[in-house]
Amino acid sequence: MTILLSLLPSPLQGAQQGTETDEPETGGETPAQESQALDEAEDPDEEEEKSGFLKKMPKNLLLVPIPTSTPTFGTGLILGGAWFYSQTEEQKESQPASFTGGAAGYTSNESWVAGVMQQNYWKEDTWRFTGVAAYMDLKLDLNVEDAGEESDSGLDWLVKGPLFQGRISRRIKGDWYMGVTGRYLDITQALELDAEDVDYGISSNITAVAVGLNLDYDSRDMPSNAYQGRYLELKALTSFLSETEGDSYQSYHARFRAYHPLKDSLVLAWEVNGCARGGDIPLWDTCRLGLRGFSATSYLGKRSLYAQAEIRWRFYKRWGLVGFAGAGRIYEPILGIGEDDTIPSYGAGIRFMVLESQRINVRVDYARSQGGDSAWYLSVTEAF
């Protein structure tokens, strides 16, 4: 599921929980508040928070055709949208806006995906719910470049089927939340690979039902594009399998993200991610490196650890620039690819904010990695 969720169109990715929006209890303005004031000064017409043709839509509706480009799927088009539910002034002060979103996309390697997402916040952000339902038909490629030389054993990997995930959390104290996560997948895959060569589940059909616990700390100021705050996510799942020799497997994930407003319109963001799997793991739920500069299927294994940082500068009204760098390692990788290597990632990008109220950006990134790997990314929302 780590891989499959990461491959969904941007409006559906992650199914992450929302954020705290309480004002800091200080006598003066924080750098982030000063930045917000500057944004308002640059845009005196508050009604014109959308750009271009988006101005003709209802204020709460975001509907965007998105050209997309990634090294995993090539080029394509995604139609994505979201309806943000209206809030009272009191609700705006205490919780993010709930929304219903959807997306469908098709790419040049003949992959397609469609799905919907629901995000709710209740009772002054005491309760949070996220649900995702999607169907995908993906044409993946396990061809990678190892140590600068292209592998001669390219593998076509076909994955299709539905997935459903639900997550509900309750505030337990301050910015801490605890909850439960459940998911269902019925995945059909085709891969020309001898099962003796890998220690992963490559059966043609695998059904997995999972349940687990999640513990979060969340003090970010906005879920879609934080300018300040911290986010910690700890998650453990047990997945029960059918139509395989194994009975179950375990998934563990830890993520920490931090956002530091350095000055007006300048934010430093960074994250550290860890992933581990145990048991008879389906190939489509292995750990990966969530960095840029290579295909999402280039480095897969039973454990992964990576970190990255971005400097984000909103230099003129809706326009912004970013620079980023990171590195990661994959452990017990499939076919030994990337073993004992520290995989780098670095690059730069440009941003255009299409919906100011939720800080929704269209982004174009160029990233490089080891062995001459490089990639362009055209997408919506920040990388993290």
Q: Is the pTM of this model over 0.85?
A: no
Tens-digit pLDDT profile for residues 89-101: 888 888 888 999 9
pLDDT of 133 reads 97
Tens-digit pLDDT profile for residues 263-284: 889 999 999 999 999 988 888 8
pLDDT of 297 reads 87
- Express as a percent the part of the chain with pLDDT over 90: 48
Rounded Cα distance between 60 and 328, Å, is 39
For 142, the token pair is 């396990």
The alpha helices in 252-321, defined as continuous H runs, are: none
Tens-digit pLDDT profile for residues 215-248: 999 999 988 899 999 999 999 999 998 866 568 8
Residue 313 pLDDT > 90? yes
Rounded Cα distance between 382 and 257, Å, is 13
CB 110 within 8 A of CB 15: no
What class is the 2-380 domain? mainly beta
Q: Across all residues in the chain, what is the average pLDDT?
A: 82
Residue 251 pLDDT > 80? yes
Question: Within its chain, how far is the Cα of 113 from the centroid?
Answer: 16
From the list 103, 132, 105, 128, the residue with the least C-alpha distance to 117 is 132
125: Cβ contacts below 8 Å, ≥ 6 apart: 18, 20, 21, 94, 95, 96, 171
The total of other beta-carbon atoms located within 10 Å of residue 73's CB is: 24
Distances (CA, A) of 1 to 16, 102, 243: 14, 19, 18
Beta strands in 54-151 (DSSP E): 61-70, 74-84, 99-107, 112-122, 127-141, 145-146, 149-150
